[in-house]
C-alpha cells in the first residue's frame, strides 16, 4: 500500500543483494514506499546459481578490513537467526560442515574471516587428511551455513511484497529514468553497474558449475584448483568450478564440464555417475573493493533537488555470503541521508 507523503525508494536489482537490502530497509524504515525494479528474478538471476556456502575467501575485500569483517559477522548472524526461526526451512538456510584441503600451501585452507564467525573452525587432523584421495598436506574443518537460493530468493521477494513492497519488471539503462519517481535509489544492480555507473572497476568472473542429485553427499569439500563439492539443499549438490576473470561468455563449455566431473570424482568417485540436474554458467560481478557508498547525481528532477544513490554492488562470488551485511551497511548510509534531510522534510519517513 502506497503511503502519501512518504519517501519513495527504488531498489535496483532483485538478486540476493537487492532483496536483502529491500528487506533491511523495510525493517528499519517501515513507513517509506519501496519498489524493486529488475529485469531478472529468482531462477534467472546470477544468485540462483550460487552454491550458497557461507565461506568467504580472504580475497573478499570491502573498503577497510574492519568494515569487511563487520559485513561478514552481520551476514552470519542474520542467516543463523533466520535458520533458527520459524522461516528457517522456507528460506533455505541450513547448517553444514566440511573440509578445505590443499597439497601445496597452508594459506589456501585458512580464513581468518571464518575463524571469527564459525562455531567450529580448526585445522584438520592427520587422519582426516587421509579420508579423501590425494596427497593432502594441509586442511581445515569448519561448521558453517548453507543457503539455498532457489528457496531464499522467492521467500525474500514474497516477504517484501507482503510488507507492502512493489515489484516492477524492467531493465533500467540510466538513473535518469528513475529521477522523477524516486527520492533515493539503492543500486544493487550487480554486473549491470558497469554500464549504469560507467564503473571500469567492475569485471565479470565467469563461473561454470554442475548441479547433480547426490543426497548421500553430506559434507562440503574445497580442494586445489577451484575444485569444490557443496551440498546445496534437498539433495542437490554443486560441483565446481571455474573462475575466469574478465570473461563474458555465458555458453556452457563441454570441456569445463568434463574437467569439473573429473576433478570432483577424484575426491568422491561415486560422483562420476551422479545424475545431472543442470549445468549453470554465470558472470559473477566482481569489484575491488566492493562498492557500498553514497553518490549524489546532478540529474534534472521534477521533484527538485538531487537524486541520491546508495550503491551496493561488486560482491563477486560472495554475494550470498555477504549480502545481509552489506545491506545493513547500505541502509545505515540511507539512514544518514534521512538524517541529513530530516530538518527540512521531517515527515518523509
Q: Are strands 184-187 and 236-240 parallel, antiparallel or unpaired?
A: unpaired
Please tell me the predicted confidence (pLDDT) of residue 5. 65
**What is the DSSP pairing of strand 166-169 with strand 33-38?**
parallel
Q: Beta-strand (E) ranges in 269-339?
A: 276-297, 307-315
The domain locations on the chain are: 8-341
The whole-number pLDDT of residue 172 equals 97
Phi, psi of 54 (to 5 degrees): -80, 95
> Whose CA is closest to 44, among 282, 326, 301, 318?
282
pTM of the prediction?
0.94
Give dist(CA 155, CA 333) in Å, integer: 26
**Which phi and psi angles does 276 have, rounded to 5°?**
-80, 130
For the domain made up of 8-341, the CATH class stated in words is alpha beta
Q: Give the single-character DSSP code of 183.
A: S
Contacting residues for 69 by C-beta, under 8 A, at least 6 apart: 113, 116
pLDDT at residue number 300: 85
Cβ 244 vs Cβ 256: under 8 Å: no
Q: What is the rounded CA–CA span in Å between residue 319 and residue 189?
A: 12
Q: What pLDDT shows up at residue 304?
A: 81
| Rg, C-alpha atoms of the chain | 21
Beta bridge partners of 122: 141
Residue 95 has which C-alpha cell? Answer: 547448517
pLDDT of residue 340: 54
Chain segment 16-35, per-residue pLDDT in tens: 999 999 999 999 999 999 99
pLDDT digits (tens, 9 = 90+) for 6-21: 899 999 999 999 999 9
Identify the pLDDT of residue 3: 67
| Cβ atoms of residues 41 and 18 within 8 Å | no
Quick one: CA dihedral 127, 259, 152, 318, positive or negative?
A: positive
What residues contact residue 150 under an 8 Å CB cut-off, 6+ apart? 42, 43, 48, 92, 233
Residue recorded with cell 544513490:
309
**pLDDT value for 348:** 39
Single out the residue of 285, 324, 329 nearest to residue 45, CA to CA. 285
CA distance 23 to 9: 12
User: Would you state the pLDDT for residue 2?
Assistant: 64
Three-state DSSP class for 335? Answer: helix
Q: Which conformational region is residue 129 in: left (phi greater than 0), alpha (psi within -120 to 50 degrees), or beta?
A: alpha
What is the pLDDT at residue 302? 83
Instruction: Give the chain's residues under pLDDT 70.
Output: 1-5, 340-349
Cβ neighbours for 208, distance < 8 A, ≥ 6 positions apart = 240, 241, 242, 252, 253, 256, 257, 260, 279, 280, 281
Amino acid at each position: 500500500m502506497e503511503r502519501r507523503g512518504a519517501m519513495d525508494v527504488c531498489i535496483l536489482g532483485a538478486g540476493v543483494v537487492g532483496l536483502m537490502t529491500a528487506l533491511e530497509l523495510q525493517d528499519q524504515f517501515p513507513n517509506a514506499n519501496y519498489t524493486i525494479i529488475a529485469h531478472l528474478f529468482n531462477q534467472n538471476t546470477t544468485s540462483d546459481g550460487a552454491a550458497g556456502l557461507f565461506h568467504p575467501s580472504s580475497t573478499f575485500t570491502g573498503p577497510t578490513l574492519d568494515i569487511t569483517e563487520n559485513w561478514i559477522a552481520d551476514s552470519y548472524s542474520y542467516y543463523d537467526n533466520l535458520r533458527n526461526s520459524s522461516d528457517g526451512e522456507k528460506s533455505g538456510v541450513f547448517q553444514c560442515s566440511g573440509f578445505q584441503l590443499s597439497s601445496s600451501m597452508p594459506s589456501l585452507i585458512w580464513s581468518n574471516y571464518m575463524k571469527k564467525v564459525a562455531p567450529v573452525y580448526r585445522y584438520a587432523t592427520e587422519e582426516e587428511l587421509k579420508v579423501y584421495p590425494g596427497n593432502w598436506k594441509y586442511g581445515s574443518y569448519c561448521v558453517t551455513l548453507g543457503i539455498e537460493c532457489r528457496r531464499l530468493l522467492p521467500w525474500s521477494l514474497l516477504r517484501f511484497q507482503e510488507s507492502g513492497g512493489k515489484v516492477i519488471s524492467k531493465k533500467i539503462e540510466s538513473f535518469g529514468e528513475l529521477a522523477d519517481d524516486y527520492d533515493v535509489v539503492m543500486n544493487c544492480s550487480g554486473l549491470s553497474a558497469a554500464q549504469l555507473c560507467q564503473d571500469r572497476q567492475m569485471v565479470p568472473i565467469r563461473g561454470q558449475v554442475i548441479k547433480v542429485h547426490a543426497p548421500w553427499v553430506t559434507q562440503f569439500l574445497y580442494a586445489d584448483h577451484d575444485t569444490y563439492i557443496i551440498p546445496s539443499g534437498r539433495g542437490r549438490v554443486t560441483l565446481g568450478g571455474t573462475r575466469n576473470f574478465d570473461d563474458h561468455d555465458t555458453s556452457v563449455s563441454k570441456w569445463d564440464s568434463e574437467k569439473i566431473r573429473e576433478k570432483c570424482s577424484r575426491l568422491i568417485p561415486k560422483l562420476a555417475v551422479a545424475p545431472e540436474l543442470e549445468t549453470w554458467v554465470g558472470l559473477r560481478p566482481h569489484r575491488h573493493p566492493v562498492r557500498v557508498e553514497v553518490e549524489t547525481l546532478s540529474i534534472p528532477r521534477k521533484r527538485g533537488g538531487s537524486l541520491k544513490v546508495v550503491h551496493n554492488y561488486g560482491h563477486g562470488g560472495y554475494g550470498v555470503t555477504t549480502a545481509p551485511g552489506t545491506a545493513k551497511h547500505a541502509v545505515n548510509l540511507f539512514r544518514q541521508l534521512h538524517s541529513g534531510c530530516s530538518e527540512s522534510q521531517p515527515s518523509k519517513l
